[in-house]
Amino acid sequence: MIGADAIIKCLEAEGVKIVFGYPGAAINPFYNSLSYSPIRTVLVRTEQNAAHAASGFARITGKAGVCAVTSGPGATNVITGVATAFADSIPLICLTGQVNSELIGSDVFQEADITGAVESFVKYSYLIKNANDIPRVFKEAFYIANTGRKGPVLIDLPVDIQNAVVKNFTYPDQVSMRTYKPTVKGHVVQIKKVIHELEKAKKPIICAGGGVLLSPAEADLRQFAENHNIPVVSTMMGIGVMPTEHPLYFGMVGNNGKPYANRAMNESDLLIMVGARVADRAVSQPDLITANKVLIHIDVDTAEIGKNVGPGIPLVGDAKHIFQELTEQQCDCEHNEWISLLEQYRETMAPVRRPNPDYVDPAAFIRMLSRKMKSDGIYVADVGQNQMWSCGYHIVRQGKFLTTGGMGTMGYSIPAAMGAKAADPSKQVVAVCGDGAFQMSMMELATIRQHDIPVKIIVFKNNYLGLVRELQHYSYQDHYSAVDLSGSPDLEKLSTAYDLDFVRLATMNDAEAVIEDFLKEDKSMLMECLIDPMDLSK
């Protein structure tokens, strides 16, 4: 057995079903062995999208997605995807080919110091120098990626190691690392403190972040909130922790969130932050948000607590365990008055839009689309104005909402939707992007065709980089610089070129029938919605 065979055995032992990637000379032994395995290979059209697809896959299965690329430019191309997964805490195993280990450091063809380059974007990285280390490294890598605060792990594989003979392959059952022991269970004393504060509080609120979904602790959080009648708001990455129309859910917070959600958080006297890093987009002034209130910060990553907000009451642990532990505790609390006040805010403070009837109103469109989608459908939002509208108007029922809230990488939606659909072909998967983001990953239409991954793609076309234009509208009084997207392709012709069905929606008049038709069959289709170029995200 050679190193490449050993790697495949490791992947099989970890239950890997699919590898997204792009081959090259330095990763060829791996791809050769892979072709003899039942693991499915999906050839993307640029390496960054291999990581995004693996990210979409991971977010549906809850297990690390795998991508494999070659050395040098293949490895450097994948960095943005890895960094995106890191910012969003998505478990990923990224395999990179490397030049012959004897030649490392001599700047030979397609050599890049990838472990050095990705240091600040990975949870951990390995450069394998001995083929006999392969089983241990892979066992550790999957363990690191999938536990604690999840994240990407990169394994650099010199081509000679992939070809070296491996003696006595055994995949380890356990990981023994003296430096890595993530805290899962909450501290009993801290749990009691939370209950104590909750009993004192008149206006408690839970702000849930992406960590709740990663745990996954949606059901446990919901149970706890329902038991004690506690309202819930979420960050962008936390969308989907509760069904959007759940009576206790009060929307997304932040500068692009719902005004009533922000008000609810501001007026609360007890704020329970869970699995959220309290970044600038969710909470622009952390000092103000914690004034006059008790803050409880629950996170599996100790370093997040007190980083951007606090100090408050820290509670380190995995959200699922914490909510289970909290639910076991007795707690007498009642806040019907607070809930009624928030309901009143929700009714009176909803943002009012004045849509232009000559175009598709993205807000109304997204609301209609969510109603027509299957209740457990997966909605993947890209980055830009489309993300703001998606966050604001998509109605999550039993489905999932995927987007990159941390890194905000344009072009995420199409490859991530591919990964999600590949992970669970029974689900309806819809990617929604702008015409800017679409052009950053439209090469993946070929991947969708080649591997028959039937995702639905909706492009909001306004011929502008809408969100940047919006910033220039506010900051530079409509003095636009480099935001005009003239020269973009005709999407109808493009669909024909890729042999995809296409539909254009010009106004809201035919929206209902067009959406129904678009969603009817489980096959790939492209829909273009014409959006008022001057429309604003709020």
Partner 1 sequence: MKRIYSVLVENRSGVLCKVAGLFSRRCFNIDSLAVGETDDPTVSCMTIVSSGDKRTIEQIEKQLNKKLDVIKVKTFDDTACISRELMLIKVRYNKGTRRDIMEICDILKADIVDMSKTQMMIQICDIPDKISLLLSMLQSISIVEVARTGTLALSKCQD
Quick one: which of 278, 294, 295 has its CA closest to 286? 278
Q: State in angstroms the smallest separation of the CB of 371 from partner 1.
A: 43
The 3-state DSSP class for residue 44 equals coil
Q: Tokens representing 254?
A: 């932040």
Report which residue type is found at 407.
M
Q: Which is nearer to partner 1, 123 or 228 (CB)?
A: 123
Q: Beta strand pairing status for 270-274 and 249-252?
A: unpaired
Q: State in angstroms the smallest separation of the CB of 173 from partner 1.
A: 20
Asked if residues 49 and 437 have their Cβ atoms less than 8 Å apart, the reply is no
Q: Which is nearer to partner 1, 172 or 286 (CB)?
A: 286
The DSSP code for 305 is: T
Strand order in the sheet with 378-381: 400-402, 378-381, 429-434, 456-461, 525-530, 501-505
The DSSP code for 248 is: T
Q: State in angstroms the smallest separation of the CB of 297 from partner 1.
A: 13
Q: State in angstroms the smallest separation of the CB of 179 from partner 1.
A: 5
Asked if residues 529 and 362 have their Cβ atoms less than 8 Å apart, the reply is yes
Q: Which is nearer to partner 1, 89 or 462 (CB)?
A: 89
Q: Which is nearer to partner 1, 180 or 502 (CB)?
A: 180
C-alpha Rg value of the chain to the nearest Å: 24
Q: Which is nearer to partner 1, 114 or 508 (CB)?
A: 114
299 pairs with which residues across the strands? Answer: 316
Q: State in angstroms the smallest separation of the CB of 431 from partner 1.
A: 33
127 pairs with which residues across the strands? Answer: 156
C-alpha–C-alpha distance, residues 481 and 462, integer Å: 16
Q: State in angstroms the smallest separation of the CB of 89 from partner 1.
A: 13
Q: State in angstroms the smallest separation of the CB of 210 from partner 1.
A: 18
Q: State in angstroms the smallest separation of the CB of 497 from partner 1.
A: 43
C-alpha–C-alpha distance, residues 418 and 127, integer Å: 29
Q: Tokens representing 247?
A: 């009576």
Q: State in angstroms the smallest separation of the CB of 264 from partner 1.
A: 28
The residue ranges that bind partner 1 (CB under 8 A) are 115-116, 119-120, 123-124, 127, 144, 177-180, 301-303, 306-307
Q: Which is nearer to partner 1, 178 or 354 (CB)?
A: 178
Q: State in angstroms the smallest separation of the CB of 279 from partner 1.
A: 15
Quick one: which of 42, 105, 90 has its CA closest to 69? 42
Q: State in angstroms the smallest separation of the CB of 304 from partner 1.
A: 9
Q: State in angstroms the smallest separation of the CB of 125 from partner 1.
A: 9
Quick one: which of 338, 228, 222 has its CA closest to 274? 222
Burial class (CB in 10 A: 0-12, 13-18, 19+), 187: middle
Asked if residues 164 and 194 have their Cβ atoms less than 8 Å apart, the reply is no
Q: Which is nearer to partner 1, 124 or 518 (CB)?
A: 124
Q: Which is nearer to partner 1, 102 or 492 (CB)?
A: 102
Q: Which is nearer to partner 1, 117 or 446 (CB)?
A: 117
Q: Which is nearer to partner 1, 99 or 420 (CB)?
A: 99
C-alpha–C-alpha distance, residues 415 and 455, integer Å: 10
249 pairs with which residues across the strands? Answer: 232
Q: Which is nearer to partner 1, 123 or 293 (CB)?
A: 123
Backbone angles phi, psi at 250, to 5 degrees: -120, 30
Q: Which is nearer to partner 1, 31 or 143 (CB)?
A: 143
C-alpha–C-alpha distance, residues 473 and 254, integer Å: 20
400 pairs with which residues across the strands? Answer: 378
Asked if residues 525 and 496 have their Cβ atoms less than 8 Å apart, the reply is no
Strand order in the sheet with 124-127: 40-43, 18-22, 65-69, 92-98, 152-158, 124-127
